[in-house]
Structure formats: C-alpha cells, structure tokens
Amino acid sequence: MKRGYTDLNSTEQKLQKISIISFSLQFGPIFGYSLNKEMYSIWLLLTFVGSISLVVKSRWIRQELRTKIIICEIILTTALIIWIFSEAILLPMILKQLIFFIVFSVAAHPYFQLLYDGKLAIKNAESK
C-alpha cells in the first residue's frame, strides 16, 4: 500500500516540506542562472540560502542516512553547477536545461521514496 502525504507523521510532513523548499532554493537558482545570467548576484544569494536550508534539513534525517544523503547532495549540486556553468560542454542551453531536470528528477526520486516509506525522517523531532 502506498502512503500519501496525509499518511505521513508530523515529522515526516515537516521533512517533506523543508526538503521541497531546500531543493527549490538550492537548484532553482542554478537553473535560473541559465535563463538570465545578468541576475548573477540574486542567483548566488538564493543558492547560498538554499545551501543553508539543506544543512537545516539534514537535522531531520536519521543519523545513519544523514552522511550519505549530504554527500549525494554535494555531488549532485557540484555536477549540476559544472553542467550549467561550463562553456566547454557544447550543447544548446535548452538541452542542458532538459538534462538538468532529468538528472534532478532521477536523483530526487529515491530520496522521496525513502521519505514516503518511513525510512528517512528521525523518530523524535524534539530530540534534535
């Protein structure tokens, strides 16, 4: 039986909300830079806020998975930054953006699958 948002406990719901906000603030500006490079300072500020929110989000993840999740997020962020910012990759920006979304979706799926399976969130939110 698949679980929906209403089937999650309060800790899992909080983690789901902060995860969506964190991923939006972290990866949205990287994508936004590809659309409008003149707003570089705005994108940089939003990415910085997104990075901080990813650290805050990690407090809601179980200790045994926390390091693995953080390392995967660092690798994903680095790879997508290099992908979008690199002038050496000779692809039209629209293809880079499409591949960006595909890679992000493939990477986010297992994260949210763990969340909805009840294996990601800490058991007691008050202890953190």
Residue 128 has pLDDT above 50, yes or no: no
Helices 63-85, 40-58: crossing angle, 10 deg rounding = 170
What does the DSSP assignment read for 46-97?
HHHHHHHHHHHHHTTB-HHHHHHHHHHHHHHHHHHHHHHH-SSS-S-HHHHH
d(CA 17, CA 10): 11
The answer to whether residues 115 and 12 touch, using CB atoms and an 8 Å cutoff, is: yes
pLDDT tens digit sequence for 11-20: 999 999 999 9
- What confidence tier does 125 reach under pLDDT thresholds 50, 70, 90? low
pLDDT tens digit sequence for 106-123: 999 999 999 999 999 998
Residue 127 has pLDDT above 50, yes or no: no
pLDDT tens digit sequence for 61-119: 999 999 999 999 999 999 999 999 888 889 999 999 999 999 999 999 999 999 999 99
Question: pTM value?
Answer: 0.86
Domain locations in the chain as residue ranges = 5-127
Residue 43 has pLDDT above 60, yes or no: yes
